[in-house]
Structure 1
Amino acid sequence: MYLSRLCGRAHIHDGYATYAQVDVVAPILLVLLRLLQGLAVAGEMGTSVTFLVEQAGDKRRGQIGSAAL
């Protein structure tokens, strides 16, 4: 849940500052927020795949795990 909020916050903050308002800081801020968003998505993906594979039946673990990716 925390990672989903982190990803959402990084996406929301993308449109706050423009280059005219904060000069060189805007592109740097954009890159840092996109990096934060990527880390949040990667963490959420690993957790969700692990959860799905653990909850799947013995015969469907490979199928469920590959479908989640």
Structure 2
Amino acid sequence: MAKFVDTILLNEEFWDQNHGNGGNLGWQYYHDMAWGDLIKYKNPTTGQILFYQEYLNHNPNQNDRD
């Protein structure tokens, strides 16, 4: 999934360069937008909010997820 998200990130930046703010919003902005709702989900059994493992693998530093 991380490669898929990276592809979204690059396309968002490309679109912004050509149709938006010039692509100068910074990598972190595009990274956060690309992950969007792909970072966590609600366990239907327990109701607990959990991060997808792929997101944790791609963002191992807790400070990056806060």
Q: Greater CA radius of gyration, 1 or 2?
A: 1
Alignment TM-score, normalising by the size of structure 1: 0.32
Query: Which is bigger in relative contact order (C-alpha 8 A, separation at least 6)?
Result: 1
Higher helix share: 1
TM-score, scaled relative to structure 2: 0.34
